[in-house]
Amino acid sequence: MALGLLCCSVPGAPSVVTAEAETTSARLDSQQKIEEFHEQLLAVMQITDGFDVRLAELSPAIHELFDVATISRISLGRTWKTLDEGAQHAFIELLERLIVTTYVARFDDYSGQIFRTISTKQTRRGWVVKTELTLTDGDKVRLEYYLREGLVYNVVAEGVSDLSLRRADYNSIIKSEGFAALLTHLKENIEEQRFVHE
């Protein structure tokens, strides 16, 4: 009878095994998402049909993996709360276009580059997947992807946080020139990258 009681779980009490399994599943899911994204990047780099084709190929991957709404909110800081829902949505769409364009512009020529996953660790807010990009000349670039609820909200390249840079740059422009000027700046950035890499 005593053995039977010991083997029975208390109703409503979380199982340690279940919690560990969920943690393992979340870790593997985060790592798999980044590795699949890297595979997509390498595939897009090998497309020779032009910038717009590569843009169309990568856009769905960015849309599914990146939490652009959170990136937008944090990047704009206090300004975000002053925008109505329509303006917030418009900014999210513009920023997503910029993120996709930037990735397509930076990863535009495949010549044997290799991505490697180094580790996947749990953080206070979610997970960080640490990876390494080996360039054709042998140089290596460290890329860390920060995920929360399965979505990327920050990328740190060689110790430099993309989210922190955006927040500093965007708020500097807003403070000196206004929010409308920031929108113009982002649109010009998109067009400039397209022009250079088409």
What pLDDT score was predicted for residue 196?
74
What pLDDT score was predicted for residue 20?
84
- Judged by DSSP in three states, 85 sits in helix
Instruction: Find tokens 């497309």 and name the residue.
Output: 47
**CA end-to-end span of the chain, whole Å?**
76
Q: Please, what are the domains in the chain?
A: 18-197 (3.10.450.710)
What does the pLDDT profile of the chain (198 residues) look like in tens digits? Answer: 344 434 444 565 566 668 888 889 999 999 999 999 999 999 999 999 999 999 999 999 999 999 999 999 999 999 999 999 999 999 999 999 999 999 999 998 899 999 999 999 999 989 999 999 999 999 999 999 999 999 999 999 999 999 999 999 999 999 999 999 999 999 999 999 987 766
Dist CA 112 CA 98 (whole Å): 26
- What is this structure's pTM? 0.88
What pLDDT score was predicted for residue 2?
42
**Residues 130 and 144 sit within 8 Å (Cβ to Cβ):** yes
